Amino acid sequence: MDRSWWWLWSHCPGLGAARIRALRSVAYEWSVGPAELWSWPTHRLQTLLSWPESCWSSVERFRRLHGKTPKINVPGNVLLPGDHQWPQGVDRLDRPPVLLHHCGDLSLLNGQRQQQAVAVVGTRAASAHGLAVAEDLGRSLASMGWPVISGLAEGIDAAAHQGCLDAGGRPVAVLGTALERVYPRHHETLQSEVSCKGLLLTELSSGTAMNRGSFVERNRLIVALAKALVVVECPERSGALITAKFASQLQCPVWVVPGDARRWSSRGSNELLRNQASLLLTTSDLADHLGEGPLMSASTSVAQDALLAAIGDGASIETLQRRLGAKGGHLSSRLVALECQGQLVCEAGHLWRRRRS
């Protein structure tokens, strides 16, 4: 019942996220629910909350409009604190969201007490090398069973999401807009794919105007949902650096792909390496640190044993397809994952062999 009342409070004009958080604090301190707060006279709330008079006028009008026993219908695509699938990692933030809108597979948030996903971020104006690295990372992480989180922005974000999708993975995109808004517009197909095969999240309600601050704010949510953050390429003034700062505050490990020292778009990420971020040269570094992700099932492990046995003294992907009756795309992603884990090596002529210890 409380969730319905908090949903109602969150739609009161003049009460943004910060004031809803303050109202929640009052409820906690006085051991009351949002329904009881609704019935409190304004003067009592005013003694506890230093809001401007214009805000209190909005609260009064809103309460009069809805009456003492309002009918409240919470949309099915809304998560509120306390819900079973609420990602508890976001509660570690200084400014946690008061609600989340979602579209896609909510099961990807299961286990989020342990932040079971990896974030990949970087500049919108990425080099061809940076885009290729981000796509490879997305593909490799998906092959290792890790959901890939990013912001669906131009450049590195989009490349990481696309790589994850190409490997049959489950991307999670945290938007800086409401769900119905696609930004940039040419990401319409990509955003649709992510919602179908992964998950879209935003703290912005339908109809909220787009503004630059929203994109900065969503970066803190990306980190709060992540077990590790990978910065691929970013300049000295970049949202990716803000994301890395949030990661430091939440003690989330930061990995950085070194970039061309002569290129402006790598100066910020290279500077991060001076500040004790971990150097990421190959995806096997991540594999050693992270291990298998939460989407790597027991059946996948059995299939992995069969794949290693089929390789024998060495085999091409075509030979493995015949031996296992597997599709090329899925087989390629599994081979890459085992290469990342240091179990396989791809030699000249695209021959896969088990790495000698």
- Cβ atoms of 194 and 104 within 8 Å: the answer is yes
Give the pLDDT score at 299. 47
pLDDT band at 264 (very low <50, low <70, confident <90, very high): very high
Poorest-pLDDT segment among 30-34, 82-86, 284-288: 284-288
Strand partners, 173: 150, 200
Give the pLDDT score at 280. 94
Q: How far apart are CA 357 and CA 355, in angstroms?
A: 6
Q: How far apart are CA 35 and CA 32, in angstroms?
A: 8
Angle formed by the axes of helices 212-224 and 239-249, nearest 10°: 40
Give the pLDDT score at 342. 80
Give the pLDDT score at 350. 79
Name the pairing type of β-strands 351-354 and 315-316: antiparallel
Poorest-pLDDT segment among 10-14, 24-28, 128-132, 316-320: 316-320
What is the side-by-side order of every strand in the sheet holding 148-150? Answer: 78-79, 100-104, 199-202, 171-174, 148-150, 118-121, 228-231, 254-256, 278-279
Q: Is the pTM of this model over 0.95?
A: no
Give the pLDDT score at 113. 55
Residue 158 corresponds to which tokens in the numbers above?
Answer: 């989009």
Angle formed by the axes of helices 156-166 and 128-143, nearest 10°: 40
134: which DSSP letter?
A: H
pLDDT band at 110 (very low <50, low <70, confident <90, very high): low
Poorest-pLDDT segment among 7-11, 182-186, 261-265, 292-296: 292-296
Per-residue pLDDT tens digits for 168-197: 889 999 999 999 999 999 999 999 999 999
Domain limits, the chain: 2-66, 79-290, 298-354
Name the pairing type of β-strands 100-104 and 199-202: antiparallel
Residue 153 has pLDDT above 70, yes or no: yes
The closest alpha carbon to 147, from 166, 123, 170, 125, belongs to 170
Q: What distance lies between CA 34 and its chain's CA centroid? A: 30
DSSP letter for each residue of 205-253: PTTPPP-HHHHHHHHHHHHHT-SEEEE----SS-HHHHHHHHHHHTT--
Amino acid (one-letter) located at 340: C
In percent, how much of the chain has pLDDT > 70? Answer: 94
Give the pLDDT score at 269. 95
Can you tell me the mean pLDDT for 256-267?
93
Give the pLDDT score at 303. 65
Average per-residue pLDDT for the chain: 90
Give the pLDDT score at 293. 85
- Cβ atoms of 124 and 236 within 8 Å: the answer is no
Strand partners, 354: 344
Residue 357 has pLDDT above 70, yes or no: no
Q: Does domain 298-354 have CATH number 1.10.287.90?
A: no
Residue 331 has pLDDT above 90, yes or no: no
Can you tell me the mean pLDDT for 40-62?
95
159: which DSSP letter?
A: H
Can you tell me the mean pLDDT for 322-329?
67
Find the farthest-apart pair of alpha carbons in the chain and give their distance in angstroms, rounded.
80
Q: Does domain 79-290 have CATH number 3.30.360.10?
A: no
In percent, how much of the chain has pLDDT > 90? Answer: 65
- Between 84 and 131, where is the model more confident? 131
CA distances from 231 to 183, 244, 256 (A): 21, 8, 5
Give the pLDDT score at 194. 98
Can you tell me the mean pLDDT for 236-250?
94
Give the pLDDT score at 302. 47
